[in-house]
Amino acid sequence: MFQRILAIVAATFLFAACETASEVGGDSASTSSASSASSASSSASAAKTEADKLAEVGNTVYFDFDSSELSENAQMTLNRQAAFLNVNPTLVIVVEGHADERGTREYNLALGDRRATAVRDYLLAKGLNSARVRTVSYGKERPAVEGSTEAAWEKNRRAATVLN
Amino acid sequence: MVAKIFRPILCRCVAVVAVLAIALGLAPIGQAEAQLRIEITEGQVAPTPIAIAEFTGPDGNVTAVGRQLTQIISDDLESSGLFRPVDSAAFIDPPKAPSVKPNFANWSPLGVKGLLVGSAYIDDAGMLQVEFVLWDVVIQRNITAGGGNADQSGLRRLAHQIADFVYEEFTGDSGYFDTQIVYVAESGTQSRRLKRLAIMDQDGHNHRYLTSGLDLVLTPRFSPTANEIAYLNYFNDEPNVYLFEVATGRTERLGSFPGMTFAPRFGPDGDKLIMSLAQDGMTDIYEMDMRTQSINQLTKSASIDTSPSYAPDGNRIVFNSDRGGSQQLYVMDADGSNVRRISYGVGRYATPVWSPRGDIIAFTKMANGQFYIGVMNVDGSGERLLADGFLVEGPTWAPNGRVLMYFKQEPFEADGSGGATHVYRIDITGFNERRIVTPSDASDPAWSPLLR
């Protein structure tokens, strides 16, 4: 009659609530004591120095709403980035494209890609080897400034150059 | 840990009805049902009063499992906004078994249109045995009947399936209670958001997490069998479309392409999937053959072409593009030809999703600093806005095309707190908006097809 049974095997997934381990903070430098300067810690502190220098040069450019056009300000920042990268030929970068929260998720992923590509293409035109740069879009997923205000959104429509 | 689950299958059984009909001297099923039909499309309707008697055991007494079943059925029907289950305290002499013809004189005065009677008990083998009959109190006939059995873990699904039978008899549409929702569970502050895939029944029960949260995940979508979920996964900080197999938890990256793949949606047969590929600042739409994982480019422009969604017959695709200068909705044939814009209202339009009925398209709209969820006809006419807020986004259809689910996010505070994000559902009439309760914040819901 109507007793039809279908057996299926279903696995039960129990993930322990995973909090990510400690975010990268400033703790790596503090562990390197003066006595034992291992190669690992020295290279880590060197990378940090390069990142600091990049930050001084300007590692972030900002965009108008729904735009990937590089403003004059952005171009000046990228000129300094290009000069810095050209005198540090071992550095490899990732350009991260971001959007503010005032758009839909998927469109903003594409917009972030467009912004990262605009920065990459500008740097390539300034002589950067394409093998040294990768792009990634985070859409509206990784705001730099918290809050749902126009001031925050301005700071979140950005492309950030980070060392790989 | 692997648990073996018997999948409950509930059958509307002609044999049972025939037996009952003979025993009770009633006409067989299928002759009279029309006069109770609820028409959903014409604005708000008064919920239909219905009596749901607690299911009984072989001795005629209400059983514990019967009480659970009837509560779930009652909650399902009530949640649709189309039914009003009447308080059982008002019942006089409910039938002791589904085979017993009710005394309609006891039910008509309650104003109910339907009476659901059933049995539910655990048999000697430990199986849950269920039978039910739905009576039309007005014409005094049984209009549907059925039964089934399941492992006791299948109780909720059996109840949802019975609720779907009742919904179907009264509305003429297929139900949507025996379905699941996959979504993105969110926690943490705005800039350090932890996002995990999670799955639950449409009523929020049987909730479980599918991913750990180590990798950022977005936009899950069910395959037509509900056995697989396509989603965006930032594994190694490289965003790509992945496939998650629900039964095993196995994940697989879909193809390997230079650039980011995202915005996946299955075709109606599950043999194809459409998605976006972003490469060199250009985002186009591609179709993937799921057997060979080969891809075929459907749009080719310098614009952003994303959020594609198939028509239910698979012959057309609606998508989002800024090729005209701002985000608008476009429809093309499934081979990428014959592209035409369909949205012409004020503002920007995004995330189009074709209704399973084929007649309308749901979307997100941005205008006047607000976000809206709306629907329009396939040619872009007849736009109606159903919900609005600081941020509402990402509509997904119930399998019968009568209900939409989406998420709503409140503004964040300057310290990254706030930003409450929840999943809601609403009738396409714009009525009966309800929040789906989840253990944490929730976004990117996707409604499964009816489970089989």
Tell me the chain A residues in contact with residue B126 when contact means C-beta distances shorter than 8 Å. none
Q: What percent of chain A has pLDDT over 70?
A: 71
Neighbouring residues of B359: CB distance < 8 A, sequence distance ≥ 6: B377, B378, B401
- B229-244 pLDDT per residue, tens: 999 999 999 999 999 9
- Mean of all residue pLDDT scores within chain B: 90
Res. B434: pLDDT tops 60: yes
CA B200 to chain centre: 11
Tokens 């049995």 correspond to what residue? B119
Res. B121: pLDDT tops 80: yes
When mean pLDDT is compared across A131-135, B45-49, B347-351, B433-437, the lowest value belongs to B45-49
Q: Chain B residue with minimal CA distance to A13?
A: B210
Q: Chain A residue with minimal CA distance to B411?
A: A148
Res. B5: pLDDT tops 50: no
Tell me the chain B residues in contact with residue A104 when contact means C-beta distances shorter than 8 Å. 307, 320, 327, 350-351, 364, 366, 393-394
Facing residue for B146 by CB, picked from A2, A136, A145: A2
- How much is the pLDDT for A23? 35
Cα–Cα dist A100/A118, whole Å: 17
Nearest-CA distance A123 → chain B (Å): 14
Facing residue for B9 by CB, picked from A4, A137, A144: A4
Neighbouring residues of A4: CB distance < 8 A, sequence distance ≥ 6: B9, B11, B148
Look at B16 and A152 and tell me if their CB atoms are within 8 Å. no
Facing residue for B2 by CB, picked from A11, A109, A138: A11
Q: Region B44-66: what's the mean pLDDT?
A: 93
Q: What percent of chain B has pLDDT over 70?
A: 90
Q: Which domains does chain B possess?
A: 9-30+47-171 (3.40.50.10070), 180-447 (2.120.10.30)
Phi, psi at residue B93, to the nearest 5°?
A: 55, 60
- How much is the pLDDT for B46? 86
- B131-149 pLDDT per residue, tens: 999 999 999 999 989 999 9
pLDDT band at A29 (very low <50, low <70, confident <90, very high): very low
Cα–Cα dist B353/B339, whole Å: 17
Nearest-CA distance A161 → chain B (Å): 15
Look at B1 and A11 and tell me if their CB atoms are within 8 Å. yes
Tell me the chain A residues in contact with residue B208 when contact means C-beta distances shorter than 8 Å. 12-14
The CA radius of gyration of chain A, in Å to the nearest whole number, is 22
Cα–Cα dist B274/B361, whole Å: 17
- A30-47 pLDDT per residue, tens: 333 333 333 444 455 554
- B263-282 pLDDT per residue, tens: 999 999 999 999 999 998 89
Q: What percent of chain A has pLDDT over 90?
A: 70
Cα–Cα dist B451/B271, whole Å: 18
List the alpha helices (DSSP H) in B308-379: none
pLDDT band at A14 (very low <50, low <70, confident <90, very high): very low
- Mean of all residue pLDDT scores within chain A: 79
Res. B79: pLDDT tops 90: yes
Res. B337: pLDDT tops 90: yes
Q: Chain B residue with minimal CA distance to A152?
A: B414
Cα–Cα dist B226/B425, whole Å: 20
From the candidates B180, B209, B309, which should be mutated to test the interface with A, based on the most A CB atoms within 10 A? B209
- How much is the pLDDT for B11? 55
Q: Chain A residue with minimal CA distance to B19?
A: A1
Tell me the chain B residues in contact with residue A65 when contact means C-beta distances shorter than 8 Å. none
- How much is the pLDDT for A48? 66
In this structure, are residues B361 and B375 in contact, taking their beta carbons and an 8 Å threshold? yes
When mean pLDDT is compared across B86-90, B128-132, B158-162, B359-363, the lowest value belongs to B86-90
Tell me the chain B residues in contact with residue A118 when contact means C-beta distances shorter than 8 Å. 281
Cβ-Cβ contacts under 8 Å between A and B: the total is: 178
Facing residue for A146 by CB, picked from B191, B195, B237: B191
- How much is the pLDDT for B12? 53
At residue B390's C-alpha, the angle toward residues A154 and A111, to 5°, is 45
Contacts 24+ apart (CB under 8 A), B370-373: B373/B404, B373/B406, B373/B426
Q: Which domains does chain A possess?
A: 49-163 (3.30.1330.60)
- How much is the pLDDT for A117? 98
Which carries the bigger pLDDT value, residue B24 or residue B247?
A: B247
Res. A86: pLDDT tops 90: yes
Q: What ipTM describes this predicted complex?
A: 0.90
The upper half-sphere exposure of residue B151, i.e. CA atoms within 13 Å in the direction of its Cβ, equals: 11
DSSP H or E stretch at residue A125? helix A105-125
